[in-house]
Chains A and B, each alone.
Chain A
C-alpha cells in the first residue's frame, strides 16, 4: 500500500498544476457547500426559533380529536339520529385544577391555563373585534413570548386592583386609547365592562398587536360569564423539540386535544425539509462538477503513464494494484481538496457572519444567521470523496485493463 502511495504521489507531482486546479475545484465546491449549508441551516434555525417563541409549545384545548359521542348513541342501538335538540353545552376543560396539577406533576416547563373568548373593544366611538385571553399574570409572564414584548407595563400590571387589561399597541392606535384609558369590552353574550389599559405590547406581528387583549383569568371569567372555567392549557417547555412526545402524553392523560407546535406548523416544517433536500441536491451537483476535474486529471495521468502501467504490470503488478493506484490518486486529490474546502468554508462563514444589515424599522442591525455544525463539513467532504472516488475509478478501471504488450510494442 505504501508502495502504491509512493507511485501515486509521483504521478500527482508530475502534474502539479493540473492537480492543483482539480483540487481547487473540489475545495471551492466543498467550501461553498459548507457556507451554503451554514446559511440555510442558520436561517432555518432562526425561523423555527421565532416560530417556537411566538406560540405555545403545546396547546391543550377543550376539544377532542374525534367528535364527542352523542349520549343517545350510548343509550340506543340505532343507525342514525335526527332532530336532536341542542343542549347548551358548557364547554371548557373539566376539573381544571386537577388537570393542571396532573400536568404540573410531570411536564418539564411551565403550565399556563387560560380562558380564551371573543369580544369587541370599544373606545370613544370606535370598536374593534378582539380575542380576549384571561391569564394568570404571574404564570403568563414566564410562559408567554409576549412578556418580552411590552412597551409599557407588563402582565404583572394586571394584578393591580380593579379591572385591568393589556393590549397591543396596534389596537391602542386603532382605538385611539393610551395607557390609563378605560376601554369597554363587550362579550359575545352582550355583557359590557370597562377595563383600564395598564400595559401595551408590540410583538411585531400585526394580527396580534391589533387583535389580542389579555386580562386576569378572574375578570375574563366574569366577562364570559363562565366562572371557574378554562378552555386552554398552554405548555412552555424547556426543550421545544420534546413537544410532540409531551403533547401525545398529555392528550392520552387528559383526553383533550393537545397540539404541539410541530403539528400546528406541519406545512412549514415540511417546506423546510424540501428546502434541505433541494440544498443537498445542489451541493451534490456542485461536487459532481468538481468530480469532473478529478476525472480529467486522473484520465490524463493514465494516458500519460500508460508506459509506467505497462512496466508495472510486466514487473508483476496485478490489475487490482493498478485500479487501486489510480483510485488512490483520485481520492487523494478529492481528500486534499475537501480539507482545503473546510478552510474555505470556515473562512466564508466568518466573512458572511460579519456582514451587517441595517434595517431602518428595527433600531439595531441584524446579522446573517449562520449555524455551525460538523455535519456540514462531514456531509460535504463525504460527497466530495464520493465524487472523487467515482471520478478516479472510471479511468482506473480502463488503465487496469490496459494490455502491457500493446504499450511495449508501441515503444519499440
Chain B
C-alpha cells in the first residue's frame, strides 16, 4: 500500500523581488498509524510544510501524493474534497465558529460532506465530544468554554469525517500544562486506539520526545528524520 503522505522534493517559494523560500526540497513519507512530531526553530518552515501537506497551500516545486492521489493534478474543488474526507486540522488556536455551539461546530464538516443525515451527524458529534470528555457542553458556545475544552472541540471537529490523517499545528501551544497534557494524551490515543496518523508541529522538544518519530526542519530544509530505516534526508551536496 502506498504511504499516506508521500512528498518528493517539495518546495515553496514566495514570489517577490527577493524570493523567499519557505520550504526547500523536502522529501518524506509517512505511513498509516504513525505519530510524528515536526520540530524546528521559529521561522524554520514547520507550519508552511504542514499547510503544504494539508493542501491549504500549493507547492512551487516537487510532488505530493496524499493517500495515493497525486495532488498536483487536482483542481481546487477536488483538493477541497480530499481535505474534507482525508485530512483533519487542529490549529494552535481553536478556530471554532463563534456563532455556533460546540455540537454545531463538529457537525459542520459532516454536513458539508453530506454522507450522514442531520440526525446521524448530530449523534456522531455528540459521541465524539462525549469521548473527549465534553458531555454536557454540547450546547455551549465557544466563548463559554475554557481553552482546553475549545481545543478538544477542535479535535472532535477534525475527526468529524473520520479522516485517516490529522495535522496539528502547535495543538498545545496556547494551553496551560494540564490542558496541554490532556490534549497530548488524546492525540496519542487517536494513534494507538483509533489507528489515526498524526503529524503535529511543535516547538516543545519534551513533547516531541514522547512521540514515535521526529522530523526537524531548519531554514525550510529537513535535517533530521529519526524514522528507523529512513533515507538520509540531507540533500546531496551540490
Q: Which residues of A contact B (CB under 8 A)?
A: 2-3, 6-7, 10-11, 13-14, 307-308, 310-321, 403-405, 408-409, 411-412
Contact = CB atoms under 8 A, between A and B. Distances in A.
A201 to B, nearest CB: 74
A315 B100 CA distance: 15
Nearest to A400: B76
B92 A412 contact: yes
Among B54, B89, B169, residue most surrounded by chain A Cβ atoms (within 10 Å): B89
Most central of A310, A316, A318 by chain B CB within 10 Å:
A316
A316 B95 contact: no
A315 B157 contact: yes
Given A409-B47, A412-B169, A315 B83 contact: yes
Nearest to B170: A412
A26 B48 CA distance: 44
Contact of A408 (B56, B80, B82): B56
B7 to A, nearest CB: 17
Given A10-B100, A314-B91, 18 more contacts: A7-B97, A311-B96, A311-B97, A312-B108, A313-B56, A314-B83, A315-B89, A316-B80, A316-B81, A316-B83, A316-B87, A316-B109, A321-B80, A405-B51, A408-B95, A412-B47, A412-B91, A412-B93
A312 B83 CA distance: 11
Contacts of A6: 104
Interface residues of B, number: 34
B26 interface: no
B57 interface: yes
A316 B85 contact: yes
Given A403-B57, A405-B56, A405-B57, A316 B99 contact: no
A313 B55 CA distance: 10
B112 interface: yes
Nearest to A307: B95
Given A311-B97, A408-B91, A3 B111 contact: yes
A310 B76 CA distance: 14
A308 B96 CA distance: 8
Given A318-B76, A319-B76, A321-B112, A408 B83 contact: no
Contacts of A313: 56, 80
Shortest 4 CB-CB contacts between residues of A and residues of B: A316-B84, A10-B99, A318-B80, A316-B83
* A14, A317, A320, A321: most-surrounded residue (chain B CB, <10 A): A317
A321 B89 CA distance: 19
Contacts of A408: 51, 56, 91, 95, 169
A314 B54 contact: yes
18 contacts: A3-B111, A7-B97, A14-B99, A310-B95, A311-B95, A313-B56, A314-B54, A314-B56, A314-B83, A315-B108, A315-B109, A316-B82, A316-B109, A317-B112, A319-B77, A408-B169, A411-B95, A412-B91
B113 interface: yes
A312 B105 CA distance: 10
A6 B108 CA distance: 10
A242 B20 CA distance: 77
Interface string B46-62: 01100100101100000
A314 B154 CA distance: 12
A312 B56 CA distance: 11
Given A316-B84, A408-B56, A3 B108 contact: yes
A28 to B, nearest CB: 29
B77 A318 contact: yes
B75 to A, nearest CB: 9
A128 to B, nearest CB: 84
A311 B112 CA distance: 13
Contact of B56 (A7, A10, A14, A404): A404
Interface in B142-180: 157, 161, 169-170
A321 to B, nearest CB: 7
Contacts of A409: 47
A13 to B, nearest CB: 7
Contacts of B112: 3, 315-317, 321
B84 A315 contact: yes
Contacts of A318: 76-77, 80-81
B151 to A, nearest CB: 14
Contacts of B104: 6
B55 to A, nearest CB: 9
Contacts of A11: 99
Contacts of A7: 97
A19 to B, nearest CB: 14
A408 B92 CA distance: 9
A17 to B, nearest CB: 16
Interface in B99-139: 99-100, 104, 108-109, 111-113
A317 B80 contact: yes
A308 B97 CA distance: 6
A319 B80 CA distance: 9
A403 B161 CA distance: 23
A10 B87 CA distance: 26
Contacts of B77: 318-320
